[in-house]
Amino acid sequence: MHPFKIFIVEDDRLYGELLTFNLSLNPDYEVELFTCGADCVSNLYKNPSAISLDYSLPDMSGLEVLERIKKYNSEIPVVIVSGQEDVRTAVHLLKQGAYDYIVKDEDTKDRLWNSMKNIRENLQLKMEIIELKEEIGKKYEFNSIIKGKSNAIMKAFKLMEKAANTNITVSITGETGTGKELVAKAIHYNSSRSKKPIVTVNVSAIPKELIESEMFGHEKGSFTGATSRRIGKFEEANKGTIFLDEIAEMDLNMQTKLLRVLQEKEVTRVGGNQIVKLDVRVIVATHKNLTEEVRKGNFREDLYYRLLGLPIELPPLRERGNDILLLAKHFIDEFCKENKMEKLTLSASAHEKLMKYPFPGNVRELKAIVELAAVMTNTNTIDAEDITFSSAKGMTDFLLEENTLRSYIQKIIKHYLQKYDNNIVLVAEKLDIGKSTIYRMLKNGEIEI
């Protein structure tokens, strides 16, 4: 914390030295005395933290000095110390930006002490908020939230940078677990709106009958249970960003109302008449193909084009090559640090096992897998046998894909080989096929182990 620097401006030197001495009893204060307004103004380059200003000075009026201070830096708190008890003067000075107005009497030095104490506490709080926002900004730097060097990720980074530099609507697509919400937050915290809120709404998690109230707010008595006015998510996000996750799950009726809000840039709370103007940046995300949803009649075409904006597609982990190992190492290091464990490394066999797995749950699944492996290992090295895959979802996802029968067979055999540690005899028995079928597919390069 920088020293708390106080200027005392007082034409009565003896009285000024009394105030200076009293404040200097706090070892964290640096106090400097000036006996005229001109000296104070000419020393503003020293950037005082606060100023105690006598209202009656020989060379300039207190109001004039206050105006000069505020013109130099409007953030400097100024406490007026005056022999006048005129309320109108005090109110006028406070309206002009004075922090406090203290009348000279036997309690002046104590009141000034308390005023400076409050100013310093507020300044410390502001600094903490600034530091917190800087930390948040660092946390959400693009290369901090998404670890990777693959071409697909580098392409996403470039689009994220373009999105952060404008207020264009962003639509993020990608499978579950690819990090869509993190990308939305990274765009927000790297944009000009970073000091304003980002409000996240998971559309799929809100019941159909409540979503309008949740998004746009409601007035007291607008429906059963509305016992007070409620501000909606769009109002909460005003001047900032609203992130609508799983936008494809929104029903058509609500889509119509959302389209109107986006077009008019205003919202009316449920049961109310007051129009609230909005300045909100919109980011949406979905794991579905919105073009296909429009074709099926599940999503309004006009809303689709309104939300499309800058599309960012996040690749599935299985298409990111060596990013799998880079992410695995990052998650293991973070897990060890959080749990005060010794540093762990991945063996060559663990590398191989991870690289062969399709990760249907994407980055989220990888994180869970390597954290469990970190707990299961009995050494400082994570080996293949420490890594366990939860494969039920993976098989379901495979079956939902459009593939040839031959491709299905290859994927199923590969899946079982991974599950049973490449034990061909056991896999042939489980699938009720001949060992020669598996050997032939291995020989022809249709599957690998």
Structure tokens at 411: 């994927």
Using alpha carbons only, what angle is made at residue 383 by residues 381 and 385, rounded to the nearest 5 degrees? 140
Yes or no: say if 374 and 328 are a contact pair by the CB < 8 Å rule.
no
Torsional sign, CA 438, 444, 448, 449: positive
State the Cα–Cα distance between residues 292 and 356, nearest whole angstrom. 31
d(CA 370, CA 357): 13
Q: Is 275 helix (H, G, I), strand (E, B) or coil?
A: strand
Under 8 Å between Cβ of 256 and 264:
no
- Looking up tokens 């009348």 gives 103
Beta strands in 55-139 (DSSP E): 78-82, 100-103
Q: How far apart are CA 382 and CA 19, in angstroms?
A: 67
* Domains contained in the chain, CATH given: 4-134 (3.40.50.2300), 142-313 (3.40.50.300), 318-443 (1.10.8.60)
Tokens 């005082």 sit on residue:
48
Are the beta carbons of 318 and 178 closer than 8 angstroms? no
- Is pLDDT of 13 > 70? yes
In this structure, are residues 78 and 54 in contact, taking their beta carbons and an 8 Å threshold? no
Where does the pLDDT of residue 133 fall: very low under 50, low under 70, confident under 90, or very high at 90 and above? low
User: Which pLDDT band holds residue 406 (cuts at 50, 70, 90)?
Assistant: confident
What local confidence, expressed as pLDDT, does residue 244 receive?
Answer: 96
277-321, pLDDT tens digit by residue? 999 999 999 999 999 999 999 999 999 999 999 999 999 999 998
Instruction: For residue 44, give the amino acid letter.
Output: L
pLDDT of residue 128: 74
What pLDDT is stored for residue 88 in this prediction? 83
Q: How far apart are CA 82 and CA 90, in angstroms?
A: 9
Please tell me the distance from the alpha carbon of residue 416 to that of residue 429, in angstroms, as a whole number.
Answer: 11
Question: Tens of pLDDT along 198-251?
Answer: 999 999 889 888 899 999 998 887 777 777 888 899 999 999 999 999 999 999
pLDDT of 14 higher than 90: yes
Strands 266-268 and 275-277: antiparallel
pTM metric for this prediction? 0.57
Is residue 233 within 8 A of residue 201, CB to CB? The reply is yes
Buried b (16+ CB within 10 A) or exposed e, 324-341: bebbbbebbeebeeeeee
Are 387 and 373 within 8 A, CB to CB? yes
Q: Would you call 392 exposed, middle or buried from its count of C-beta atoms within 10 A (0-12, 13-18, 19+)?
A: exposed
* Poorest-pLDDT segment among 310-314, 342-346, 361-365, 421-425: 421-425
